[in-house]
């Protein structure tokens, strides 16, 4: 299954692996994704994680279902500087019939935890 989305390409997200219980990806921090000082913008962090949670959900759905994010919470711990590569690992906390909850841990290149994002995905029939 192709998990590449137009927005994912625009951001520069590189999907490393997709499985039903884990999604891994990287994001090179370039100037277009930064705030001041030159560090990864919080919105980019959140969009990065949102993408991975959606991919994880889709990897667990039958072809007649889709998903949308209905809740997201982010804790920021350290800035990711321009030129660094953010590395993310997204794992399920809950995989139900109507909702799934995913946690994405984003680390800097030096391994320091930069953010933790927990999001809830609604599972919906396609065409609804």
- Number of domains composing the chain: 1
**What CATH number does the domain containing 89 carry?**
3.10.129.10
In whole angstroms, what is the distance from residue 39 CA to residue 14 CA? 19
Question: Is position 58 within any domain?
Answer: yes
SS3 state of residue 119? strand
In whole angstroms, what is the distance from residue 57 CA to residue 106 CA? 18
In whole angstroms, what is the distance from residue 115 CA to residue 128 CA? 33
Q: What is the pLDDT of residue 128?
A: 66
pLDDT tens sequence for the chain (128 residues): 777 789 999 999 999 999 999 999 999 999 999 999 999 999 999 999 999 999 999 999 999 999 999 999 999 999 999 999 999 999 999 999 999 999 999 999 999 999 999 999 999 999 86
Q: Helix-strand-coil percent breakdown of the chain, rounded to 5? A: 20, 50, 30
Query: pTM for the whole thing?
Result: 0.96
Question: Is position 1 within any domain?
Answer: no
Contact 91, 100 (CB under 8 A): no
Question: Is position 49 within any domain?
Answer: yes
Question: Is position 73 within any domain?
Answer: yes
Q: Which domain holds residue 76?
A: 6-125
Contacts of 42 (CB under 8 A, 6+ apart): 35, 74, 76
The two structure tokens encoding residue 25 = 């990806």
């Amino acid at each position: 299954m192709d998990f590449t989305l137009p927005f994912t390409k625009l951001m520069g997200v590189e999907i490393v692996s997709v499985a039903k219980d884990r999604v891994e990806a990287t994001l090179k921090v370039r100037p277009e994704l930064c705030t001041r000082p030159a560090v990864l913008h919080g919105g980019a962090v959140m969009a990065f994680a949102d993408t991975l949670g959606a991919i994880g959900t889709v990897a667990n759905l039958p072809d007649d279902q889709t998903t949308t994010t209905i809740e997201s919470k982010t804790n920021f711990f350290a800035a990711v500087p321009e030129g660094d590569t953010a590395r993310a690992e997204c794992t399920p906390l809950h995989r139900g019939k109507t909702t799934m909850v995913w946690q994405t841990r984003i680390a800097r290149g030096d391994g320091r935890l930069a953010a933790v994002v927990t999001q809830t995905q609604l599972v919906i029939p396609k065409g609804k």
